[in-house]
């Protein structure tokens, strides 16, 4: 019999990260309430033991207090799945054989479902896999606002609207944390671009900060009870966000009463005094600058390590600052790795696969469908040409910290072959990119002209063409660390599509991306779908929607402008985006996304909330329970909807609110309610939506508070920000 190497010895020999899977002995009295147990533990710890707990010991772990039986804290990137393991002190993959995961769709896709119940199931499944893998913190979700279509990290976030993000993030966090795993909402705050992210100072009004950029974080704290928050790299009011007195001490921990752990993004701490005084609790990744590298094994040199210890010993900083950090870290431990009731988790189950597929199916957005190009039922065409690298490229890889090692990733091509039969599908790559890299663009190794010629020949001889294009997770695409350089499709896709359309006019396009792209070929193509990074079940979900087995029901979580200059961030020039490397000025203020397009009367190419279906819905009467409301009331809106099309389907009713005579300028309308529902063919029902009157509020920066003014308000029932079906007027009493 082969002698086993003890796991700890294995870790020491090979230098791999080794989560603590078993519960360490606890020498603290576990019969007391948690806050008393925190006091008990804190009273028994030495100064050095406390210092050790507020900074990293490896790339993804922090030391506990072994003498008292307090376990290490293990964390993983994972807004879309639990990331693979890394060696102890470097960014090399550890190459374990048991660290694969279910890859869930990117959060842009989850937002496009407009389905909070799916967000809960997504979070719960992700939390189960994280728990099974021995993780105590999952580093997600991300809720930064989509301000520019060039931002490299938009695919990790939930779109341009703070209300949509707020509604979707709460059940996600609740689902994760049911497993005794802390969600870590990120990146707090104003991380709306990757370009210059490590140094840029954001100049933004108090009103825009509160109305646009903070609401989803606030919902995560106050409504979801999130246990951890991650700071961003950028600055606000000249101070780095990861140790910013205004953001952390005054807003997060003061106004919102956050009782969890504030941690850095990897490498976002810059100063011991600021970190100690301005609310940072846990320091990760210093000297690594995020995805790059610098000094090695320097954990004792972190700002909250030996420098903090020495300042306390010299009396320059109070030990009470350290104690407050340790209280929060211990509270996290009692919620996670010292919670004896937390479940054991599950990994790679059929249920997880089904959830990934369901989110993907409900997130795909049908944007154009001329003469019912879609659905393409099996047997409708003899020869289907599938063209484009995105039909086969592994899109769970790359992108930065959200990269995944999926147990399987079914490509769109594979899904289509399984749906239509190999004999009916012919594939040509058409264009090619290199392997994903975080810091440079790698060559593909293919001859671009040869790929184009082959694709045109395939298209010429096909009955129908499905072009799979868009972006990928390579450098300066949908990737952490930098932004896109333009809205154009990369790798010559626009030119390729022009050539394909010259030889075959029966063309449908499936765009896979986390950002809007320019579409000079839009009028010429028959059908268009906005797809996303769909994860493990990408091909199955795509084929089910294209074939008509599932009717598309996704809605755009961001506006697609006709041209880049129509976007609010770019309208005001370089000062507004990307800034000068030192400062960026948010001249668009509260008018982000559809707020900008609608208020400035700039037509988008496709509006926020837009999405077609294979069936057809008719909107009937709309009514409210009364006309006049007090500040504490909730407006109850009912609308009659009928499915008058040819198949079952889902529709998202959206409620936008407009104030008649505000004392400060407001957007033309703002999303304040939505509900997704399913109707069988021929079914009719009354759908009820509830909008609290307090949600009519705007942030009055003259008074530094939220205000609901006595006034008339219009509630608009819509299928997108530009498609208003019905409207009712109500009055808020003085």
DSSP-derived 3-state class of residue 395: coil
Residue 22 per-residue DSSP state? S
Dist. CA 136–CA 127, nearest whole Å: 10
- What number of H helices and E strands is found in the chain? 18, 28
Distance of CA 680 to the CA centre of its chain: 31
> Nearest-CA neighbor of 599 among 610, 588, 611, 609?
588
Dist. CA 351–CA 108, nearest whole Å: 22
Specify whether 603 is catalytic: no
723-732, strands of its sheet edge to edge: 628-629, 723-732, 711-720, 649-659, 670-679
Dist. CA 597–CA 516, nearest whole Å: 15
DSSP-derived 3-state class of residue 549: coil
Dist. CA 47–CA 35, nearest whole Å: 20
Q: Which residues of 182-220 are buried (b: 16+ CB within 10 A; e: fewer)?
A: bbbbbbbbbbbbbbbbbebbbbbeebbbbbbbbbbbbbb
Residue 422 CB partners (closer than 8 Å, separation 6+): none
* Whole-Å CA distances, 558 to 488, 530, 577: 17, 12, 18
372, 380 contact by CB (below 8 A): no
Dist. CA 292–CA 271, nearest whole Å: 20
Q: Which residue out of 77, 89, 161, 265 is catalytically annotated? A: 265
721, 608 contact by CB (below 8 A): yes
Dist. CA 655–CA 696, nearest whole Å: 12
The residues annotated with a catalytic role in the active site are 265
């Amino acid at each position: 019999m082969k002698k086993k190497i003890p796991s700890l010895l294995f870790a020491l020999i090979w230098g791999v990260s080794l989560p603590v899977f078993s519960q360490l002995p606890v020498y603290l009295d576990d019969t007391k309430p948690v806050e008393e147990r925190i006091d008990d533990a804190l009273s028994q710890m030495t100064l050095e033991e406390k210092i050790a707990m507020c900074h990293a010991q490896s790339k993804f772990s922090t030391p506990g207090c072994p003498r008292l039986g307090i376990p290490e804290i293990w964390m993983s990137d994972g807004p879309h799945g639990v990331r693979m393991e890394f060696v102890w002190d470097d960014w090399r993959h550890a190459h374990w054989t048991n660290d694969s995961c279910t890859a869930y769709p990117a959060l842009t896709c989850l937002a496009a479902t407009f389905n909070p119940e799916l967000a809960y199931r997504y979070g719960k499944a992700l939390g189960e896999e994280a728990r099974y893998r021995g993780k105590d913190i999952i580093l997600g979700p991300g809720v930064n606002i989509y301000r520019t279509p060039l931002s490299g990290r938009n695919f990790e976030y939930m779109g341009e609207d703070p209300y949509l993000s707020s509604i979707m993030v709460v059940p996600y966090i609740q689902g994760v944390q049911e497993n005794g795993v802390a969600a870590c909402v990120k990146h707090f705050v104003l991380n709306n671009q990757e370009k210059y992210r490590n140094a840029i100072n954001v100049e933004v009004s108090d009103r825009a900060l509160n109305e646009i950029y903070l609401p989803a974080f606030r919902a995560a704290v106050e409504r979801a009870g999130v246990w951890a928050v991650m700071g961003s790299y950028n600055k606000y009011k000249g101070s780095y966000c990861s140790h910013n007195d205004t953001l952390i001490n005054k807003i997060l921990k003061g106004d919102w009463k956050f009782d969890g752990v504030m941690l850095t993004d990897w490498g976002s701490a810059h100063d011991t005094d600021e970190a100690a005084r301005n609310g940072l609790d846990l320091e990760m990744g210093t000297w690594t600058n995020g995805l790059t590298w610098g000094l090695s094994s320097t954990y004792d040199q972190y700002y909250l390590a030996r420098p903090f210890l020495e300042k306390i010993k010299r009396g320059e900083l109070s030990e009470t600052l350290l104690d407050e950090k340790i209280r929060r870290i211990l509270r996290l431990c009692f919620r996670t790795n010292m919670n004896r009731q937390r479940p054991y988790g599950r990994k790679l189950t059929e249920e997880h696969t089904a959830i990934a597929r369901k989110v993907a199916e409900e997130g795909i957005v049908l944007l154009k469908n001329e003469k019912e190009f879609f659905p393409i039922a099996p047997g409708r065409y003899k020869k289907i040409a599938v063209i484009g690298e995105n039909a086969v490229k592994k899109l769970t890889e790359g992108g930065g910290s959200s990269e995944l090692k999926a147990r399987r990733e079914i490509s769109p091509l594979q899904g289509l072959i399984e749906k239509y039969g190999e004999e009916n599908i012919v594939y040509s790559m058409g264009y090619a990119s290199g392997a994903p890299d975080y810091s440079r663009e790698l060559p593909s190794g293919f001859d671009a002209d040869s790929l184009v010629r082959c694709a045109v020949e395939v298209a010429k001889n096909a009955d129908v063409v499905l072009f799979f294009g868009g972006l990928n997770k390579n450098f300066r695409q949908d990737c952490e660390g930098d932004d896109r350089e333009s809205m154009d499709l990369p790798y010559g896709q626009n030119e390729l599509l022009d050539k394909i359309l010259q030889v075959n006019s029966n063309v449908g396009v499936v765009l896979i991306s986390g950002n809007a792209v320019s579409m000079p070929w839009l009028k010429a193509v028959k059908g268009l779908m906005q797809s996303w990074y769909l994860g493990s079940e990408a091909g199955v979900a795509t084929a089910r929607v294209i074939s008509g087995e599932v009717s598309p029901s996704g809605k755009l979580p961001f506006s697609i402008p006709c041209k880049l200059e129509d976007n609010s961030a770019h309208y005001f020039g370089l000062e507004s985006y990307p800034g000068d490397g030192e400062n960026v000025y948010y001249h668009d203020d509260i008018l982000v996304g559809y707020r900008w397009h609608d208020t400035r009367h700039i037509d988008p190419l496709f509006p926020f909330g837009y999405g077609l279906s294979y069936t057809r819905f008719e909107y009937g009467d709309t009514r409210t329970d009364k006309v006049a409301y007090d500040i504490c009331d909730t407006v109850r809106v009912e609308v009659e909807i009928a499915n008058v099309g040819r198949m079952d389907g889902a529709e998202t009713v959206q409620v936008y609110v407009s104030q008649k005579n505000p004392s400060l300028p407001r957007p033309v309308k703002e999303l304040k309610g939505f509900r997704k529902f399913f109707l069988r063919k021929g079914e009719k029902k009354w759908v009820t939506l509830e909008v609290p009157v307090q949600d009519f509020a705007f942030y009055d920066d003259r008074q530094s508070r939220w205000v609901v003014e006595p006034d008339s308000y219009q509630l608009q029932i819509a299928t997108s920000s530009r498609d208003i079906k019905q409207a009712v007027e109500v009055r808020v009493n003085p």
